[in-house]
Structure 1
Amino acid sequence: MEQEKSWRDRIDYTLLFLVFVLGCLSIMAIYAGTTTQFFSAEDYEKYRHVFALSQAKWFLIGFVLMVVVMLVDYEYLKRLTIPIFAFGMILLLWVQFFGVENKGATRWIGINGTPIYQPSEVMKIILVLTLAHLIVVLNQRYSEKGLKADLKKLGWLAAFGIPPFYLVLKQPDLGSALVLAVIIATAILMANVSYKVLASLAALAGAGIAFLYYLLLNHIELITKYVLEEHQLVRILGWLYPEEYASGYAMQTLNATRGIGSGQLTGSGFLNSVQAANASTPELHTDFIFAVIGEEFGFLGSTVVICVYFLLIYRLIMLAHSCNDLYGTSIIAGIAGMLTFQIFQNIAMTIGLMPVTGIALPFLSYGGSALMTNMVAIGIVLNIGMRQKTYMFKSTSEVVDSDKGTLIPMKGKRFKLPL
């Protein structure tokens, strides 16, 4: 009989290697993408390493967090579902009433007016964990098929998903709100809802988008009054009509696409970015980091980055497929959906295929809050993957009470769903 592998042997080193590669690419791209807008001409070469060095520091902190998350059995997260979700909501409410404004939006918790942390980032992970637990509860409680059961599942997923989505959207932070929406959509796909209901939801979403487009063309004042903030609407208009907004909200996208186009096949070479040298693209080291890669490393370099992301998402999907319990599968699926949307949206907005939403490119863009969230997410995935053999024959009865359908909070107390 083959001896059982130790936990060190069950770590997914392929996933770790892909994150390491992205970390190296991030530090290089941020160093190359640090523009002259942050420093005077005489200080530029002397201090341009500051953001890259800070990103390296955040990666080290993120690695420690990832290891800590790996070592704590993910089964314990089931008992923390309610307290963790409540904590996340408290943070979002704190931002709503006492948050620090930065760049026209109130998204941060700060000290003495200085932004410190963005709670919408940690809410992404919290929502993934909460909805994953809820999916198991609902699938146990409503194992039978039928429209009534499907509607109750959707109702409970909406009850936990819409409040954080609404609070993040009000900050306003459309990018993070869209990520939360994708996490909710992924949970709906995992909730064993019938294809007819899924098709109806897709048709409803399509009709909503078509209606918004109609309002955009005919009653634009209603959008700014009831749906979007004015600056969000102008970003969409800048995407649809870039020539008319070339000196405003379309400037970033136009300059980024020109930079990527100038890279051609092999790029202009490392540290030869015109965008960085003349600061033509604001936020180049954050939201538009892919433009640096496209300009300096060309089509080949951009393809390598996209392939690394593809392998990362593919690895997550394989881990979710091989997972032995619905809770772990739902968590990994939620994280995969979260990362996939952010990768697609960021690259698409950089090349003009989507409106600018301020979504960072995972593991590449500069920023501590987003990077910590992504590193913790990878830690949770590694945690689940390395424990699958240990829990191969455990049933989901440990997650829920199959007769009553209950979420399990801390200290073994049960939270009854009034279903």
Structure 2
Amino acid sequence: MEERKSGVQQIDYTLLFLLFVLMCFSLLAIYSGSGQYFSDDPTYYVKRQIIWFIAGVIIMSGVMVIDYDMYKNFSIPLYGIGVVLLLLVAYSPLGVFRNGSQRWLDLGPAEVQPSEFMKIFLIIAMAHLLYRVTMNRTTKDLKSDLIIVAKVFAIGLPPFFLILTQPDLGTALVIASIMVTMLLMSGVAWRILFVLGIGAVSGILSLVYLHNNNFELFSKIIASHQLDRIYGWLDPYEHQGSYGYQLVNALRGIGSGQLYGSGFMQGVQTQSDRIPEIHTDFIFTVIGEEFGFLGATILIVTYFLLFYRMVIIALSCNNLFGTYLVSGVIGLLVFQVFQNIAMTIGLMPITGLALPFISYGGSALLTNMIAMGIVLNVNIRTKHYMFETEESSL
């Protein structure tokens, strides 16, 4: 028996509350970390972030209104638009080169970063692909699994390599994370995934070998600034005067926060302009230093609860397309949270990935709000049944 609920009743208000908590963290951290840049108006970045949040909520609401099943009709055009935009970044005069990379398109009144929106386009395209393959598959064998892997790679690798050549390793790894997460949800045999994992590890070991034995070839694969970041990650204190500077000061700030933090607007590292991009990529330093271990733990637990709710939505959805959509969003957000926090505390190399819903920035925030709109959309249109049995949910 179907339990009928209105769309408003079926909105996941827990998810919305967790988003609100993250927004509060964001505004506090941005205000504290960015006030030093504009002494005449310390609220400059906060006011802009509030505008981005309002725009994001409006767009998220719009995404929730359209039945997510309709996204199938736009999956191929959106994917094609995303690839074309990435090509324009790389090979047209509209591409903007800044800070050693070419990631933006100059559209006159504003600059946009197509790689951010490509994440959403790829999730929709891959969810549609896996839905069609799964629904049409009559037998589950090695051959059919290999076909699924080949098709996922066919649509995932073009944007991966286009973004990698910008160069933007962080976003390219996010694309890879989406691919891996959706492959896991597709039911592909574990032995295939194991072989793919061995291939990835072998690729990393090959790069290490080239670095030690054929540096000329290695330098054609890994850009010099990327190698500097790896050196700064492996031994930041040895290189604290150059490419380890940012990480060393971030570690000092987070370490000085101890249990309760130094207090809002009282962080020595945060307020002294010693950490570049502290209001964007390194915003976790602000939270760790000024709110301490307790504040950082609350933030991480909030993320955990957010992801837990998304997993529940994915598992309870009785439409495979919806399940794949939510799975792609989980892969998108979980990797970014892990990578950003890990790079701030020295567990991973530094990349230009923002902390979702916390870091200052428009393109990344809008992308993440669209992603949350998709998740909420799936939850609203998931039919729940009273006395549901295993057979009735199939």
TM-score band, normalised by shorter chain: over 0.9
**Selected match of 1:308 from 291, 302, 309:** 302
**Selected match of 2:334 from 337, 340, 347:** 340
- 209-218 vs 374-383, which moves further: 209-218
Counterpart of 1:353? Answer: 347
Say if 1:96 and 1:371 are closer, same or farther in 2 by CA, change over 3 A.
same
Counterpart of 2:206? Answer: 211
Counterpart of 2:390? Answer: none
Q: Would you say how many aligned residue pairs link Structure 1 and Structure 2? A: 384
Paired amino acid for 2:330: A
Residue 222 (structure 1) aligned with residue 248 (structure 2): no
Check the 8 A contact 2:258/2:292 in 1, yes or no.
Answer: yes
Check the 8 A contact 1:270/1:297 in 2, yes or no.
Answer: yes
Say if 1:218 and 1:240 are closer, same or farther in 2 by CA, change over 3 A.
farther
Mapped to 2, the partners of 1:3 and 1:210 lie a distance apart of 54
Check the 8 A contact 2:178/2:332 in 1, yes or no.
Answer: yes
Shift of 1:3: 6.8
Say if 1:143 and 1:240 are closer, same or farther in 2 by CA, change over 3 A.
farther
TM-score w.r.t. the length of structure 1 is 0.88
Mapped to 2, the partners of 1:369 and 1:117 lie a distance apart of 7
Residue 202 (structure 1) aligned with residue 197 (structure 2): yes
Mapped to 2, the partners of 1:244 and 1:220 lie a distance apart of 21
Paired amino acid for 1:30: I
Residue 330 (structure 1) aligned with residue 318 (structure 2): no
Give runs of aligned pairs for residues 221-370 of structure 1, distance below 5 A: 221-225=216-220, 227-370=221-364
Counterpart of 1:105? Answer: 101
Counterpart of 1:176? Answer: 171
Check the 8 A contact 1:96/1:171 in 2, yes or no.
Answer: yes
Per-residue CA shift, 1:302-327, capped at 9, x if unaligned? 00000000001111111101010111
Q: Where do 5+ consecutive residues of structure 2 fail to align? A: 387-394
Check the 8 A contact 2:32/2:271 in 1, yes or no.
Answer: no
Per-residue CA shift, 1:63-119, capped at 9, x if unaligned? 00000000111111011111111111111111112311122211001145x861101
Paired amino acid for 1:120: S
Paired amino acid for 1:365: S
Counterpart of 1:33? Answer: 33
Residue 22 (structure 1) aligned with residue 22 (structure 2): yes
Counterpart of 1:192? Answer: 187
Mapped to 1, the partners of 2:246 and 2:200 lie a distance apart of 29
Check the 8 A contact 1:286/1:366 in 2, yes or no.
Answer: yes
Give runs of aligned pairs for residues 43-192 of structure 1, distance below 5 A: 44=39, 46-98=40-92, 99-111=95-107, 116-192=111-187
Shift of 1:188: 1.4
Paired amino acid for 1:251: Y
Counterpart of 1:9? Answer: 9
TM-score w.r.t. the length of structure 2 is 0.94
Mapped to 1, the partners of 2:215 and 2:146 lie a distance apart of 33
Say if 1:3 and 1:319 are closer, same or farther in 2 by CA, change over 3 A.
closer
Mapped to 2, the partners of 1:2 and 1:66 lie a distance apart of 28
Check the 8 A contact 2:2/2:385 in 1, yes or no.
Answer: no
Check the 8 A contact 1:85/1:130 in 2, yes or no.
Answer: yes
Paired amino acid for 2:7: W
Mapped to 2, the partners of 1:166 and 1:250 lie a distance apart of 27
Paired amino acid for 1:262: S
Paired amino acid for 1:169: L
- 360-369 vs 3-12, which moves further: 3-12
- RMSD between aligned alpha carbons? 1.7
Mapped to 1, the partners of 2:148 and 2:120 lie a distance apart of 21
Shift of 1:214: 2.4
In structure 1, the residue corresponding to 2:269 is in which secondary structure?
A: helix
Mapped to 2, the partners of 1:173 and 1:2 lie a distance apart of 47
Shift of 1:217: 3.2
Mapped to 2, the partners of 1:339 and 1:60 lie a distance apart of 20
Shift of 1:11: 0.3
Paired amino acid for 1:110: D
- 205-214 vs 131-140, which moves further: 205-214
Per-residue CA shift, 1:360-381, capped at 9, x if unaligned? 0000000000000000000010
Shift of 1:4: 2.1
Mapped to 2, the partners of 1:318 and 1:72 lie a distance apart of 22
Mapped to 2, the partners of 1:111 and 1:89 lie a distance apart of 17
Check the 8 A contact 1:35/1:279 in 2, yes or no.
Answer: no
Shift of 1:244: 2.8
Paired amino acid for 1:188: L
Shift of 1:157: 0.8
Shift of 1:2: 8.3
Mapped to 2, the partners of 1:267 and 1:193 lie a distance apart of 46
Mapped to 2, the partners of 1:360 and 1:312 lie a distance apart of 17
Task: Give runs of ≥4 in structure 1 deviating > 6 Å.
Answer: none
Mapped to 1, the partners of 2:198 and 2:162 lie a distance apart of 26
